Structure 1
Amino acid sequence: MASFVQKLIGISVFASMPFGDALAAEFAIQGLSKPLEKNLEYYLMPLAEVRADSLSVSQLSKLVKSALNPYGYYHSQLSVRRGENDLIMLDVDAGEVMLVAKSNVVVSGEANNDQDFIELVNQAQLKQGQPLLHSEYDTLKRNLISLAQQKGYLDGHFIESSLEVMPSLNQANVNLHFSSGSRYQFGDLSVPISGIEPARIEAIRTFKWGDDFDTLKLSQYQSDLYGTGWFRRVIVKADFEEISNSQEVPIEVLAEPNSRNIVQVGGGYSTDLGLRASLNWTKPWYNARGHSFEAQAYASKPEQSLLLGYKIPTQNVLTDYYGIQFESKHVDYRDTSSFFNDLLFEKHWQLDSDWQSTMHVRYLQENYRQASENNESQLLLPGVTFSLLDRKNDQLEVNHRHVYSLEYSDPNFFSDSRLLRIEGNSVLSWDISEKHKFHFRSNVGINVADTLSDIPSSLRFFAGGDGNLRGYGYESISPRDENGDLTGARYMFTAGLEYQYQVYRQLWLGAFYDVGDAFNDNVDWKSGTGLSLIWNSKYVPVKVDFAYGLDAPQGDQFRVHFSLGTQF
């Protein structure tokens, strides 16, 4: 069997030892599997400052047995050889592993038919004929107690718990009898006196009075309360000291209201939009019914906007609500000059655990110049949106995001033109391993109208830039008129693939390929490729794309896209 040397000791302390004194021992271990070897190394660590010539074979043999017994090896044999430079070679024969002869694991009481307890017992590696692992026995005991506390079996205890080891027979017997007692229920809920109506706080709870007690539901309730934005701090706790004879656990909510006004200032930079700044004013709870208000101002060289929003929660505060939103925006970039006002009325609700739906009606009034076309448009656009957003644990990256929407306007309903508009955007991210990631994104846009003039500038499609087609200027791709000016397009499709590799800690290197076009009748696919450098900072991710437009005009193929903010 191959041997290897693991230095545990070997540091000579010449400053404190006379020259010629014996040195601390070094050990070479052979004959053991990796887990057994690692555990033996751990047991040998206390000998770090013991002289090699003071270690006896019996002392080392006891350490070996102590290291191997928890893995079911009770008949190990040790051969010790001493080499030069105080090297001690340990040749270990683990012997035959001890097997479980009898396994008597019983759960009595109301938890006897609880599926979680049944699965916990079945998953334990303590069945008859399996190798004995002391850690499995200890883990099962801890997990039974923990699961009982989580699910409200508050009187649960062990009637019997023993592990009988018989080295002479190389067998072990496992005896565990856990009595769960009866399951407790949720009792009265006590909510704090704050600026929010108590009924609103109670409506969010994940349990009802009389439901079976479960600490996971308490944790979810606490998370949901914090997610409303109404509170700066929230604690939801079970008051075990006030449990009644009816075995009902009172629940208390401790909460500190959030500030009535929150102001945030932000900024960033990208090669597409240049410097950008934002000012956000939020009232997380405008009144006792939990209504909220938000005002957002945004400015960059090509775009400036002001957005006002008012949110009216319904029964399910987190996912179901009405919204009123007004946005005024000015755009002056390339061959586009546009000023529009957009008034939106919407209703949000949760479809299932993942997807959210929005029904809306918006009124869009726009004055614009697109290429040589000057026009004014007003549209009443009812529509529906389906969306999903799943973030990774660190919240800086997205696992996947999907947004699909449909809108329609008609001249018979306060609109200048008939328009059917469909949009779809998807982003997916796969962590292949700790050092490898793969990303995919796609953007689809469809405008169905009689003529391009029936579509206001803000609803036309443009491609190009770090958001969809790298290697090309921001929104530089669309059909052009006879003067060579961009007119915007009826349709758009772009897709991108990117592979990223972790070079060092937060520093990643990527390679990408994008393809797409914005077009009216005939598609002319354009593609770009290149390398990315990403710094996944804890606070503000930074990304630089060195892109080459494979179909870009001569002399304009190479571009650098720089951005600060959340990646995929």
Structure 2
Amino acid sequence: MARIPALLTMLLLTTAAQAALEVRVEPRNDAARENIEAFLGPITADSREAMWRMARASREQALSALQALGYYHARVRPNVIGPDDDPVLQLNVTLQEPVRLDEVVIEVTGEGRDESFFNLPRSRHMLKGAQLHHGHYEDTKSLLENQALRYGYFNGQFLENRLLVDVEQRMADVILRYETGPRFHLGEVSFSDTPFDEDLLQRMVPFEPGVPYDADLIAEFNRELLSSGYFDSVQVAAPASQAVDGQIPVQVMLEARKQHSLGFGGGFSTDVGPRARAEWTQHWLNSRGHSRGAETELSGPRQQFSSWYQIPLTPPQSSHLRFFTGWQRENIDDTDSQSMVLGGLFQKRLASGWDRSIGLRLEQERYSLGNDSGKSTLLIPSIGFQRTISDNTIDPSRGYTLMMDLQGAKEGVVSDIDFVRLNLGARGLYTLFDKHRFLARAQVGGIASDGFASVPASLRFFAGGDQSVRGYDYRTLSPTDETGDRIGGRYLLASSLEYQYEFRPKWRAATFVDHGNAVNTWKDPKKTSAGVGIRWVSPVGPIRVDLARSISDPDEGFRIHFSMGAEL
């Protein structure tokens, strides 16, 4: 059958028509109307006569815009309406049956023909019987070329790329045959001059020389270097033009950050009131990438100071050994404690994406719980896992966080008592239709010990506060002794469901229900509270104000909670 080359048109959509153009399509078709408006662009004329002179060219352009969507038999009748000094071009469009696809051939040959990333899912727009759409044809071509560039097939090319349209039969054929050529590989990695040892830098490389090229691998390498904390700027390049025998040298330009940083901060929350914080960090103190720092935090109920020394392992950006020491004093409600700690922590990001922490610390604590007081010495091994998946670090729209912390001690091995403490936590966030956010969190903990009465205050569980059951003040949910003083529980349950609605950009209204308690047996009663709140997404993160009231104990009255920080 007779065939003619198709008109290849880029489709640019716009949200509103120009005031001097009015397009009417029968039967109604918003895609056709919008494409005509975008194709014609701004139309202006200072008289009806001048507008009529533009009408013919506008009609031809409208026909081209319709052909791009497969309407080769449409009729366009122009008309000029309105006053002479403010004319409007009216295009009356009548659509007919569009051209549809007949034969669709998409073939990949060459070295990459069997690779899964070239096995593209067939779009419903590129199947036999689908309406011809030049944009979808171009998208398919671009997708093949982009996959080739992403995975290192830099010599790939189309052996055949044709779109043939039989206007009379209203049928079209698509023929795309792509030859990938050989796949390039990544070669040796070279770094610009830095204060760091070559060995340290090479241990940051997440691939071995000779690995097949993957643009995502280069991007990951760039992100990993930035996340190491050693550099202010990073630029990783693998120019295919410099390849030798299919091996592309990787070039890394680095600018080391300043060695020292000093930070001061403050804040307020209803849990601890006003607080001040100071932090000093030496991000690198030698060519091997060792670092150290110290921080202090002061508030009414809590004062603490700590320092640390960190040694990078392999890979340095996600695996390190940290030694630490610290002192803390806490006086909250019926609990007073003072502790010293000395220990080490081996932290590593696993291939699965989990952050694993293995620690050992020596901790001494003097405490009083109600009328009881004591002193404990504990050698505590621990292991923890945490994973956070989110689409934004400051204000995510969806994601989750999972956490597990397990620690314990053995009486006689430096420690005064036997105990095992497990703490599990989960948070999830999902946003629906951009404005409706659903946040859920749960925390479960427990302590196994034959001498629970000797477990220090810092290890016991308390509930209540802006991160727990918000109808109660901070740490006011707890078992009590015979005098009514709160002494902390063996078990913890805290859960929450929250709905947020964004009523204006960066501002959200919230309503929530919390449930939980710190208890000595799982049969002990749990507490429930509910409330409303407001959220403002500030430049430094979300700020939250909540008004909550207990459902279980209505006499508790209302509680106002103020807090800030990411929700995951």
Query: How many angstroms does 1:225 deviate by?
Result: 1.1
- Alignment counterpart, residue 52 of structure 2, candidates 46, 55, 64: 55
Query: How many angstroms does 1:492 deviate by?
Result: 1.6
> For residues 63 and 269 of structure 1, what CA distance do their matches in structure 2 show?
63
Is contact 1:268-1:565 (8 Å) kept? no
Residue range with higher mean Cα deviation, 486-495 or 198-207: 198-207
Is contact 1:551-1:557 (8 Å) kept? no
CA distance 1:50–1:94, shift in 2 (3 Å): farther
Query: How many angstroms does 1:63 deviate by?
Result: 3.4
In the TM superposition, 1:415-434 aligns within 5 A as 415-434=415-434
Is contact 2:426-2:443 (8 Å) kept? yes
Partner of 1:438: 438
Is contact 2:374-2:454 (8 Å) kept? no
CA distance 1:52–1:117, shift in 2 (3 Å): farther
Is contact 1:363-1:380 (8 Å) kept? yes
Is contact 1:418-1:454 (8 Å) kept? no
Partner of 1:466: 466
Is contact 1:201-1:225 (8 Å) kept? no
Partner of 2:379: 380
Query: How many angstroms does 1:127 deviate by?
Result: 4.0
Query: How many angstroms does 1:376 deviate by?
Result: 0.9
Query: How many angstroms does 1:82 deviate by?
Result: 6.7
CA distance 1:419–1:8, shift in 2 (3 Å): closer
> For residues 508 and 393 of structure 1, what CA distance do their matches in structure 2 show?
17
Query: How many angstroms does 1:348 deviate by?
Result: 2.5
* Partner SS state of residue 147, structure 1: helix
> For residues 477 and 207 of structure 2, what CA distance do their matches in structure 1 show?
54
Is contact 2:100-2:171 (8 Å) kept? yes
Partner of 1:33: 29
Is contact 1:25-1:50 (8 Å) kept? no
> For residues 545 and 25 of structure 1, what CA distance do their matches in structure 2 show?
52
Is contact 1:25-1:52 (8 Å) kept? no
* Partner SS state of residue 143, structure 1: helix
In the TM superposition, 1:342-353 aligns within 5 A as 342-353=341-352
Residue range with higher mean Cα deviation, 510-519 or 442-451: 442-451
Residue range with higher mean Cα deviation, 137-146 or 425-434: 137-146
CA distance 1:41–1:183, shift in 2 (3 Å): same
- Alignment counterpart, residue 39 of structure 2, candidates 33, 37, 43: 43
CA distance 1:8–1:154, shift in 2 (3 Å): closer
> For residues 252 and 16 of structure 2, what CA distance do their matches in structure 1 show?
55
> For residues 327 and 559 of structure 2, what CA distance do their matches in structure 1 show?
32
In the TM superposition, 1:177-256 aligns within 5 A as 177-244=177-244, 246-256=245-255
> For residues 444 and 107 of structure 2, what CA distance do their matches in structure 1 show?
58
Residue range with higher mean Cα deviation, 88-97 or 405-414: 88-97
Query: Which digits, 9 at most, give the CA deviation of each residue in 1:249-280, with x for residues without a partner?
Result: 11111101121112222221112211112112
* Partner SS state of residue 380, structure 2: strand
Partner of 1:66: 64
Query: How many angstroms does 1:29 deviate by?
Result: 4.3
Query: How many angstroms does 1:123 deviate by?
Result: 4.1
> For residues 269 and 202 of structure 2, what CA distance do their matches in structure 1 show?
45
Instruction: State the TM-score, normalizing by the size of structure 2.
Output: 0.90
CA distance 1:105–1:477, shift in 2 (3 Å): closer
Say whether residues 1:168 and 2:168 are aligned partners: yes
Query: Which digits, 9 at most, give the CA deviation of each residue in 1:116-135, with x for residues without a partner?
Result: 12316x44843443322111
CA distance 1:553–1:65, shift in 2 (3 Å): closer
In the TM superposition, 1:191-340 aligns within 5 A as 191-244=191-244, 246-340=245-339
Query: How many angstroms does 1:483 deviate by?
Result: 2.4
Is contact 1:32-1:92 (8 Å) kept? no
* Partner SS state of residue 234, structure 2: strand
Gaps in structure 1 of 5+ consecutive residues: 1-5, 11-23
Q: Which amino acid aligns with 1:70?
A: A
Query: How many angstroms does 1:238 deviate by?
Result: 1.4
Partner of 2:147: 147
Partner of 2:536: 535
Query: Which digits, 9 at most, give the CA deviation of each residue in 1:92-138, with x for residues without a partner?
Result: 22211112333343333222222212316x44843443322111222
> For residues 490 and 106 of structure 1, what CA distance do their matches in structure 2 show?
65
CA distance 1:170–1:514, shift in 2 (3 Å): same
Is contact 1:72-1:97 (8 Å) kept? yes
Q: How many aligned residue pairs are there? A: 547
Residue range with higher mean Cα deviation, 421-430 or 29-38: 29-38
Is contact 1:503-1:509 (8 Å) kept? yes
Partner of 1:393: 392
> For residues 204 and 403 of structure 1, what CA distance do their matches in structure 2 show?
27
> For residues 415 and 533 of structure 1, what CA distance do their matches in structure 2 show?
46
* Partner SS state of residue 541, structure 1: strand
Partner of 1:449: 449
Residue range with higher mean Cα deviation, 30-39 or 471-480: 30-39
Partner of 1:129: 129
Partner of 2:99: 98
Is contact 2:228-2:318 (8 Å) kept? no
CA distance 1:449–1:114, shift in 2 (3 Å): closer
> For residues 176 and 48 of structure 2, what CA distance do their matches in structure 1 show?
44
CA RMSD of aligned residues (A): 2.4
> For residues 524 and 181 of structure 1, what CA distance do their matches in structure 2 show?
69
Instruction: State the TM-score, normalizing by the size of structure 1.
Output: 0.90
Residue range with higher mean Cα deviation, 333-342 or 101-110: 101-110
Query: Which digits, 9 at most, give the CA deviation of each residue in 1:494-533, with x for residues without a partner?
Result: 1111011111111101110001111224512211101010
CA distance 1:44–1:155, shift in 2 (3 Å): closer
Query: Which digits, 9 at most, give the CA deviation of each residue in 1:380-411, with x for residues without a partner?
Result: 11222122122332533472112212222122
**Identical-pair percentage:** 28
> For residues 341 and 231 of structure 1, what CA distance do their matches in structure 2 show?
34
Query: How many angstroms does 1:292 deviate by?
Result: 2.1
Q: Which amino acid aligns with 2:118?
A: F
Query: How many angstroms does 1:39 deviate by?
Result: 1.1
Is contact 2:280-2:293 (8 Å) kept? yes
